[in-house]
């Protein structure tokens, strides 16, 4: 770790910062009780944090200074909905590669089924034209983390395309190999639905047959979590196996957010190969609040401003002030809570990146819906956001 200041604790890299001055997590005061408790009990909460300060040179070019707490990309955690972000961006990269007349992000996309486990998607009541499309799926993913929208883009791209593309971009601690919110075996998740893209004249623009991924993507270390889990209403008294579950390390998650915000800071081969128009589209919906969207429409009280904005605002139902713009993706499942954000307040000249994961499962049982999200998880993200924002306000 060249040019890094490192503080070791029993062999673990607890702090790793770009300079001696940048040690934000070393001492947390009583004003942040939950944040302080979590950091002091990092093994219990399996917390990891990556924070990047942003400096600007005389030409306005950003310069990142990183600081990590408890970061370990070899330690498995369940990434939940955060995997939707790279899949959404890769769908635009795939689209650009097709070079097919009449095919765009707004072209009608009809998903069929050829296996009992597969579900077709031929209609979308939330779309203005009542039809699904890549663009509409991406909106739903970035606005409210829609599971079905992610599944459709996963079925379009497939495991091999997703994983090999991410590996080429230097994101080597990531495996994406299953749909979300519906149970399928690893074998079924390797089978992909047939898809048709329909032009304005009603004719088929592109037809993709059913496919199967022959390469097996799995976590080689065969991770397991918790001491027991619920399955079919019954308690299984052994750890849950996550060998064939998605993996998305915090470094890779942080890196995806940075690649879409500041692609110029990465080598050409490590960037997402999308147009500036597509990048603006992603950034628009990463930062848009649910209530600002017309199609799809998301209304109060269910979809409040901070529905998917955890830092600083995650426990409040009050409107987020207009001067704050947060480009992010969150995740919540199996006791894990995650948020990766580019946090901006242009009025105060504040901008920084922060990504974090926390595990709140005191009884160490999965699938029992008994997690401390409200007591520990969301307050942790609120206080971490408050703390870093206040830190940014004070620094030169």
Task: Give the domain ranges of the chain.
Answer: 1-72+304-396, 79-246
Cis peptide bond N-terminal to 95, omega within 30: no
pLDDT of the residue at 314: 87
Measured CA to CA, the distance from residue 373 to residue 337 in angstroms comes to: 8
Rounded to 5 degrees, what angle do the CA atoms 190, 193, 196 make?
145
| Tokens (6 digits) for 22 | 């940048």
Residue 9 is predicted with a pLDDT of 34
- Mean pLDDT in runs of 10 for the chain (396 residues)? 39 51 73 95 96 93 94 96 98 97 97 97 97 98 98 98 98 98 96 97 97 96 98 96 98 98 98 98 98 96 96 93 98 98 96 98 97 98 96 88
What's the pTM? 0.94
- Residue 221 CA to residue 172 CA, distance in Å, equals 15
């Amino acid at each position: 770790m060249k040019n890094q200041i490192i503080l070791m604790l029993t062999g673990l890299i607890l702090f790793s910062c770009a300079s001696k001055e940048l040690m934000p997590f070393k001492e947390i005061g009583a004003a942040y009780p939950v944040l302080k408790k979590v950091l002091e009990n990092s093994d219990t909460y399996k917390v990891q944090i990556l924070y990047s300060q942003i400096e600007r040179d005389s030409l306005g070019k950003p310069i990142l200074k990183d600081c990590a707490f408890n970061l370990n990309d070899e330690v498995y955690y369940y990434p939940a909905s955060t995997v939707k972000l790279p899949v959404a961006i890769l769908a635009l990269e795939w689209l650009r590669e097709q070079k097919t007349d009449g095919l765009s992000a707004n072209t009608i996309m009809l998903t069929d089924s050829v296996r009992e486990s597969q579900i077709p998607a031929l209609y979308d009541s939330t779309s203005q034209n009542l039809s699904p499309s890549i663009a509409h799926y991406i909106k739903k993913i970035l606005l409210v983390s829609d599971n079905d929208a992610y599944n459709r883009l996963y079925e379009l791209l497939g495991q091999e395309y997703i994983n090999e593309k991410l590996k080429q971009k230097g994101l080597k601690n990531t495996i994406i190999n299953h749909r979300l919110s519906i149970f399928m075996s690893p074998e079924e998740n390797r089978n992909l639905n047939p898809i048709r893209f329909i032009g304005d004249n009603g004719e088929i623009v592109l037809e993709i047959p059913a496919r199967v991924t022959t390469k097996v993507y799995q976590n080689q270390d065969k991770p397991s979590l918790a001491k027991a889990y619920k399955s079919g209403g019954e308690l299984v008294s052994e750890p849950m196996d996550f060998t064939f579950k998605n993996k998305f390390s915090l470094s890779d998650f942080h890196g995806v957010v940075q690649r879409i915000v500041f692609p110029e800071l990465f080598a050409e081969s490590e960037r997402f190969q999308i147009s500036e128009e597509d990048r603006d589209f992603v950034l628009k919906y990463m930062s848009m609040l649910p209530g600002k969207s017309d199609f799809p429409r998301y209304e109060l009280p269910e979809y409040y401003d901070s529905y998917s904005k955890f830092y600083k605002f995650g426990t409040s139902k009050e409107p987020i002030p207009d001067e704050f713009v947060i480009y992010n993706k969150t995740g919540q499942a199996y006791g894990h809570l995650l948020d990766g954000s580019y946090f901006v307040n242009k009025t105060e000249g504040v901008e920084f990146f922060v990504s974090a994961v926390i595990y709140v499962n005191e009884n160490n049982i999965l699938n029992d819906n008994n997690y401390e999200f409200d007591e520990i998880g969301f307050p942790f993200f609120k206080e971490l956001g408050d703390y870093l924002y206040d830190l940014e306000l004070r620094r030169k």
